[in-house]
């Protein structure tokens, strides 16, 4: 299970399907319109939750036809609510950001792509889930947006590089999946990064605003577990998380994934070769300052030090 720190940065948690559709309360969107405000997720993997266990037959449904038909109009299926059809991560991102900026609640339902011969998803669990999700969407208000997204045919979905699997927010591991989105309220104080360029940008921007900056470098999330592949990173996360609670509102915390195991082990990993970061092990905590207008490391805590509450607490208090 993911640590609370990863949940804070990526805002992910699980609910039952019906609780999600009936009771979810979405925080208000950010007022500053920062285009770097990261999409948070409420993530639900629900093949078991949504199977028809009552013994009654699954009724033929119109959810797919409704969503597909609304690609142009964006409107209703037997009641007033907005709908969109998507088949790419870019479309889901765009529809979601546009809706959140208009104070709409957003739900996305990810399924296997339609088999042109049958008109239904190639995925049996998706076919089973569709009528149940359809019924749940009837409780949505006219201010909600429902996105039905096809993730690809069977072969494309099974590839590890499927964009819905590798997307830094969606991180799909199975289908069907139902997500609800909101803009992170903490985005002014927390960032997620997976490249040296992002860490550089976030750091320099914050330092130029006279803010303290801390970066936590860990092994990338394993999509099969939802946790970092690195045991030491996993052990350090809850300790670092606890200490971030003492940060000032003006401080910036960056959580950065350095790559999968093989990529991290290569001598040419960009976090190892970076002239400032110079990582040698993970987890690593860095704090930054400006030196002649350029980013420099102010303090560094590595390896087992990141698992020591006293050392981590001192690191954040002294900056």
Q: Give the residue numbers marked as catalytic.
A: 123, 126
What does DSSP assign to residue 28? Answer: P
Residue 3, classified by CB atoms within 10 Å of its CB into exposed (0-12), middle (13-18) or buried (19+), is buried
Q: Are 144 and 81 in contact (CB under 8 A)?
A: yes
Residue 185 CA: distances (Å) to CA of 9, 140, 182, 189: 10, 23, 9, 9
End-to-end, the C-alpha distance of the chain in Å comes to 30
Under DSSP, is residue 85 helix (H, G, I), strand (E, B) or coil? strand
- CA–chain centroid gap for 199, Å, is 18
Side-chain-side CA neighbours of 53 within 13 Å: the count stands at 5
Q: Are 118 and 106 in contact (CB under 8 A)?
A: no
H-helix or E-strand spanning residue 160: none
Residues forming beta bridges with residue 213, ordered by sequence position: 252, 288
Q: How far apart are CA 7 and CA 35, in angstroms?
A: 21
Q: Are 312 and 285 in contact (CB under 8 A)?
A: yes
∠259-262-268 over CA atoms, to 5°?
Answer: 75
Under DSSP, is residue 267 helix (H, G, I), strand (E, B) or coil? coil
Residue 246 CA: distances (Å) to CA of 12, 126, 289: 22, 44, 20
H-helix or E-strand spanning residue 291: strand 284-291
Q: Are 179 and 43 in contact (CB under 8 A)?
A: yes
């Amino acid at each position: 299970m993911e640590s609370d720190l990863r949940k804070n940065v990526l805002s992910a948690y699980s609910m039952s399907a019906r609780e999600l559709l009936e009771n979810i309360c979405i925080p208000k969107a950010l007022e500053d319109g920062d285009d770097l405000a990261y999409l948070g997720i409420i993530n639900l993997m629900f093949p078991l939750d949504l199977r028809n266990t009552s013994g009654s037959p699954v009724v033929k449904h119109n959810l797919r036809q409704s969503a597909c038909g609304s690609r142009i109009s964006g409107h209703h299926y037997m009641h007033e609510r907005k709908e969109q059809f998507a088949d790419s991560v870019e479309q889901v991102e765009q529809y979601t950001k546009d809706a959140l900026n208009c104070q709409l609640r957003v739900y996305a339902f990810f399924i296997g792509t339609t088999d042109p011969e049958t008109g239904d998803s190639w995925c049996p669990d998706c076919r089973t889930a569709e009528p149940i999700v359809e019924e749940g969407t009837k409780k949505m208000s006219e201010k909600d947006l429902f996105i039905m997204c096809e993730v690809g045919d069977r072969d494309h979905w099974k590839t590890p590089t499927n964009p819905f699997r590798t997307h830094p927010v969606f991180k799909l591991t199975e289908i069907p999946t139902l997500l609800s989105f909101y803009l992170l309220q903490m985005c002014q104080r927390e960032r997620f990064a997976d490249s040296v360029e992002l860490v550089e940008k976030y750091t320099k921007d914050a330092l130029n605003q006279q803010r303290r900056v801390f970066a936590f470098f860990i092994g990338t999330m394993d999509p099969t577990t939802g946790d970092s592949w690195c045991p030491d990173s996993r052990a350090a996360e809850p300790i670092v998380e606890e200490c971030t609670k003492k940060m000032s509102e003006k401080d910036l915390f960056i959580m950065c994934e350095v790559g999968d195991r093989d990529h991290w082990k290569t001598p040419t990993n960009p976090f190892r070769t970076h002239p400032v970061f110079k990582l040698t092990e993970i987890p690593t905590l860095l704090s930054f300052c400006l030196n002649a207008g350029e980013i420099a490391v102010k303090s560094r805590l590595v390896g087992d030090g990141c698992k020591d509450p006293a050392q981590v607490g001192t690191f954040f208090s002294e900056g």
